[in-house]
Amino acid sequence: MLEIDAIDAGYGRAQVLRQLSLTVRSGEILCLLGRNGAGKTTTMKAVMGLLPLMGGKVTLDGTETSSLPPHEVPRTGIGYIPQGRRLFSGLTVAQNLEIGMRARRSPPQTREQVLELFPRLRERLGQQANTLSGGEQQMLATARALCLRPKALLLDEPTEGLQPTMIEAIRQVIVKMRETGVAVLLVEQRVDAVLSVADRVAFIENGRNGETLPAEALRADHSIVERYVGV
């Protein structure tokens, strides 16, 4: 279970997150919805320790990760799939996966399991990451994070700019991760894509918590979504 407990964070003196709290249970997909600039990506960076917290704490299964140096945060079992993929672009597919494997010294079977989820990557192991198509790059970014055997997975707009078949493939993997008991925190702009996979939806507004609702409630009543993300 990933718990974000009243965190304050920001860039330099500009505070973005104010007393933000979220709880993602194991085997649950929590979707974070909000307008541009509401602090969704900032939340993920703060969880990863890439932004220093000004207050509050983050715990994973009871271990406080926010007191660790940034490179030890992923070792507790948090996989991060950032916006724009951020692959190690000059490295090959295999090398990108190796970096994921080494983060928590995963056994070799993990790599096999991940490659079974993404057979396309197996055909391209020797290829440089920046020569892959957009969808394949997203698969690699996801595969890299899964190589770390995550207990919690942070996905920042994983379907941005992808064609529908790719979106479906990524979605299936997210659902599979939920089945194996991973806590999934998902940031997504496309509300319809979210509602079909999410268990709960948390709204974020100006860096503060909005309502957190079960996804069914939103499927039944779309007006709440309009209030937070409508223009």
Sign of the torsion angle spanned by Cα atoms 186, 29, 31, 74? negative
Nearer to another protein, 136 or 156 (CB): 156
φ, ψ of residue 211 in degrees (nearest 5): -70, 155
Is residue 149 involved in binding another protein (CB under 8 A)?
no
Q: Which residue type, as a one-letter code, is found at position 123?
A: E
Structure tokens at 231: 């223009």
- Stated as kind and residue range, the H or E segment containing 144 is helix 134-146
Nearer to another protein, 48 or 93 (CB): 48
Nearest to 57 by CA among 33, 29, 21: 21
Is residue 199 involved in binding another protein (CB under 8 A)?
no
Q: Which of the ranges 27-35, 65-73, 183-191, 206-214 carries the binding residues for another protein, by CB under 8 A?
A: 65-73
d(CA 98, CA 92): 10
Q: Is 192 exposed, middle or buried (CB count within 10 Å of its CB: 0-12, 13-18, 19+)?
A: exposed
Q: Give the shortest CB-73-to-another protein separation in angstroms.
A: 8
Is residue 80 involved in binding another protein (CB under 8 A)?
yes
Nearer to another protein, 35 or 104 (CB): 104
Out of 19, 63, 67, 89, the only residue in the binding site for another protein (CB under 8 A) is 89
Is residue 71 involved in binding another protein (CB under 8 A)?
yes
φ, ψ of residue 156 in degrees (nearest 5): -105, 105
Is residue 82 involved in binding another protein (CB under 8 A)?
yes
Q: Give the shortest CB-190-to-another protein separation in angstroms.
A: 24
Give the footprint of another protein on this chain (CB under 8 A): 45, 48-50, 70-75, 80, 82, 86-91, 95, 98-100, 102-104, 144, 148
